[in-house]
């Protein structure tokens, strides 16, 4: 049972990372920012990190 809840939590974190990456990509269409790296990866890291903090009760 413990492995199943951990898998569900990880799936939630991955979903939040995907959603935040898509949101950043969508907003970049309307407000373009010239950078040397992809801002969607930053959005995915922030979204996944916040979801992990919330889901795994890290704080």
Token pair listed for 47: 């979204």
Give the pLDDT score at 59. Answer: 83
**10 pLDDT exceeds 60?**
yes
Mean pLDDT for 14-32 is 93
Is the confidence at residue 26, as pLDDT, over 70? Answer: yes
State pTM to two decimals.
0.86
DSSP 8-class letter at 58: -
Q: Which domain holds residue 22?
A: 2-55
CB 11 within 8 A of CB 51: no
**SS (HEC) of 9-44:** HHHHHHHHHHHHHHHHHHHHHHCCCCCCCCHHHHHH
pLDDT value for 1? 55
- Is pLDDT at 58 greater than 80 in this prediction? yes
Domain total of the chain: 1
Q: State the CB neighbour count (10 A cutoff) for residue 51.
A: 20
């Amino acid at each position: 049972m413990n492995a199943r809840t951990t898998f569900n939590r990880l799936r939630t974190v991955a979903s939040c990372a995907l959603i935040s990456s898509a949101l950043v990509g969508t907003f970049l269409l309307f407000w373009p920012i010239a950078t040397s790296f992809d801002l969607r990866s930053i959005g995915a890291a922030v979204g996944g990190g916040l979801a992990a903090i919330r889901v795994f009760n890290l704080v």
